[in-house]
Structure 1
Amino acid sequence: MKSLDQDTIEAKLLQFPDWDYFDDALHAEFEFENFKDCFSAMSRIAFECEAHNHHPDWSNVYNVLKISLSTHDAGGVTQKDFDLVEAIEAIVEPEE
């Protein structure tokens, strides 16, 4: 899979305002009500990661989840990362 150029990445990020692009990766930070809600979201995200066969670099401290996504084999951000971003957003964003 080929990495995307910076213009394409920035255009795609317009759909995902919680995400930033730097250091050749997509980054987001999500804050939840408490640790239980954060861990629950992480568990649901883990199932999506397995389904996409794509796994983030992430960390959790209490109610904050930090996620970085890149496609290591491609040396940057690919469509695979944006597919996972979309899945993650469906989990962390409250339903209207």
Structure 2
Amino acid sequence: MKQIKLTEDEIEKRLLHLPDWDYFDNAIHGEFEFENFKDCFSAMSRIAFECEALNHHPEWKNVYNILTVSLTTHSANGVTPLDFKLAEAIENIVEPEED
């Protein structure tokens, strides 16, 4: 399914719901800190399943307990709703809601 590139205003409005994310360099970016490397790698493994399910894959890097994620849709040359869908899935994995 072809993804439509969002405007900067649309991106900024959607980011209000994702306070840990920023928009720059034509992508949305999040950085997450974990207790240790094992917890970080475990979250990355869970995120990988979401990526496959959405057929959308981040640019990411991991240094010890820090995970840095950049999301953009290359085929649309910018940020699309699909990037936000994956960002929300990542948020639910790295910061699950407390009951």
Q: Is the TM value for this pair above 0.5?
A: yes
1:6 equivalent in alignment to 2:8: yes
After TM superposition, where is structure 1 displaced by more than 2 Å over at least 4 residues in a row? none
> Which one of 57, 60, 64 corresponds to residue 58 of structure 1?
60
**Following TM superposition, by how much is the alpha carbon of 1:2 offset from its aligned partner in structure 2, in angstroms?**
1.4
**Following TM superposition, by how much is the alpha carbon of 1:78 offset from its aligned partner in structure 2, in angstroms?**
0.1
Match of 1:88?
90
Structure 1 portions without partners, runs of 5+: none
**Cα deviations across residues 56-77 of structure 1 (Å, max 9, x unaligned)?**
0000000000000000000000
**Cα deviations across residues 35-92 of structure 1 (Å, max 9, x unaligned)?**
0000000000000000000000000000000000000000000000000011000000
CA distance in 1, matches of 2:63, 2:14: 28
Count of aligned residue pairs for this structure pair: 96
Structure 2 portions without partners, runs of 5+: none
TM-score using structure 2 length = 0.95
CA distance in 1, matches of 2:62, 2:33: 10
Aligned-pair identity (%): 72
Match of 1:39?
41
